[in-house]
Amino acid sequence: MRVLHVCSELFPLLKTGGLADVTGALPPALAELGCDSRVLVPGFPAFMNNVIDKELIADLGAKFGAADVRLYLAKTPDSSISLYVIDAPDLFDRPGNPYADADNHAYADNYRRFALLGWVAAQLAGSLDSEWSAEVVHGHDWHAGLAPAYLKAEEIKTGQKLAASIFTVHNLAYQGVFPYRVLAEIDLPIWFFNIHGLEFHGQVSFLKAGLFFADKITTVSPSYSREIQGEEQGCGLHGLLQARSHDLSGVLNGVDPAVWSPVTDSLIAANYNTRSVAGKLACRSALQEYCGLAKQDEKPIFAIVSRLTEQKGLNLVLAGIDEILSRGGQLVILGSGDAELEAAFSERAAANPELMAVQLGYDEVHAHRIIAGSDVIMVPSRFEPCGLTQLYGLSYGTLPLVRKVGGLADTVTDSSLENLADGTASGFVFNGFDVAEFGAAVRRAFALHARKAEWKRVQKYAMQQQLGWDAAAKAYYELYQQVSN
């Protein structure tokens, strides 16, 4: 089975969020099942400058506003992933963030940049590479949303289906919506612009294109696949998703143990496992030292590794900080996002330097340091398609504190009395998106942390969860077989 993954990020070469972790881990997991997976990415500097063994596959000339487009086949260092890279300097050779300028304004030509990505994906289902063609094109998020549309356009034009298509929604809130006028520049039939196609409130939606034209749709957790069929989380697309419910399924993300495992992680102060978590104490001390926090072992360290946005529930954390600090807990934050939240958290940290530390931006080493050294990882999201941070927390015995929504609900079991008695507790779960319920979950975390024997039992159970990519890879492989038959 030949599968082409189409995406804009790939760990470890380029990462702004969890999408990169998924696209970096899924192809190798599929390879274990005998699936011949390759990945197609835009030629951002992070890819062009760091791939190895580049081989020119095709010179495509001028396309989508770029004067010169070339396609290379390459390898990622230290991995077996085969990578197609679209070299189009006019569109992709820009420093910094792959989607926006230095002022965080989305590039005005993003529609051309990612239309090219989808168009090349469709060509790779044909004869663009004389030695390899995709049987299944698997697009990830709105950046790859046009790939199924280009495949459908070619099928209508020739009467022959080039390849089947799968489209995975990693976050429905990011939709790639552009003015109607861009339709003239993206090489799709004008009649694709209607309610049964690309049109979304008079504009062109790349995400809707993927949802409408793909053979099958997946989300990154079972709960999220159900939630987005309702008005509250459907982002205006719930009607389409309801209509396609028979083609929609949720496949829970996994964790790549080669990257996220306390047993082998080279980025943390000491390794540890379920038999002995002594190394976690060394990681805790290293975290406190790095962040300039007071050295203490009696109260829990709470942590956040996240985009700092309202969607992630960070306003709840900001309002509930006193619930943590007044009880002697410590708080470590790594992330960036909303300027007001960044400033507010930084101000609170400056006023409480022994109890709270904030580092803005993203730092992979510090992320590992935090996950290993803290006691509670908080993901109190308003909505959460899957969430990977809580999975990392479970793997490292850092108990997740989460809201019961999306993939968080699918992966964390509350430390209620009955779950503690049954031995199934793995964290702290609250329901309502409000400060009172968040605060109650924080208090439960303090209470359990004070009961050391019970805390260690929950910690051990959390670390024993099977969180690898095997189950997800098998589920995707079955979908590939369904659509390609």
CB 331 within 8 A of CB 358: no
**Lowest-confidence segment of 14-18, 56-60, 112-116, 223-227 by average pLDDT:** 14-18
One domain for residues 123 and 219: yes
Total structural domains within the chain: 2
- How far apart (Å, rounded) are the C-alpha atoms in residues 361 and 336? 5
pLDDT band at 485 (very low <50, low <70, confident <90, very high): confident
Quick one: 194 and 54 in the same domain?
yes
Neighbour-count burial of 216, counting CB atoms closer than 10 A to its CB (0-12 exposed, 13-18 middle, 19+ buried): buried
Q: How confident is the model at residue 251 (pLDDT cuts 50, 70, 90)?
A: very high
Tell me whether residue 428 is in a domain.
Answer: yes
Name the residue range of residue 18's domain.
2-254+469-484
12 prior amide bond cis, ω within 30: yes
**Average of per-residue pLDDT across 245-274:** 96
Contacting residues for 238 by C-beta, under 8 A, at least 6 apart: 228, 229, 230, 231
The pLDDT of residue 78: 76
Q: Tell me the sheet residues that pair with 414.
A: 427
**Are 162 and 212 found together in one domain?**
yes
pLDDT for 254 beyond 80: yes
Over residues 202-231, the pLDDT tens digits come to 999 999 999 999 999 999 999 999 999 999
> In the predicted model, is pLDDT for residue 17 greater than 90?
no
Nearest to 128 by CA among 45, 212, 207, 69: 69
- 238 and 382 co-located in one domain: no
Q: Residue 123 maps to which CATH number? A: 3.40.50.2000
What pLDDT score was predicted for residue 271? 98
In a domain, 32, yes or no: yes
Judge if 329 and 198 occupy the same domain. Answer: no
Model confidence band, residue 169 (pLDDT cutoffs 50, 70, 90): very high
Q: Are 182 and 158 in contact (CB under 8 A)?
A: no
Q: Do 474 and 386 belong to one domain? A: no
Question: What is the C-alpha end-to-end distance of the chain, expressed in Å?
Answer: 11
Q: Say if CB 362 and CB 16 are below 8 A apart.
A: yes
> Are 210 and 286 contained in the same domain?
no
Q: Which amino acid is at 245?
A: S
> Is the pLDDT assigned to residue 104 strictly greater than 90?
no
DSSP 8-state symbol, 53 = E
Structure tokens given for 141 = 């998020």
Query: Does 266 reside within a domain?
Result: no
* pLDDT tens sequence across 105-148: 899 999 999 999 999 999 999 999 999 999 999 999 999 999 99
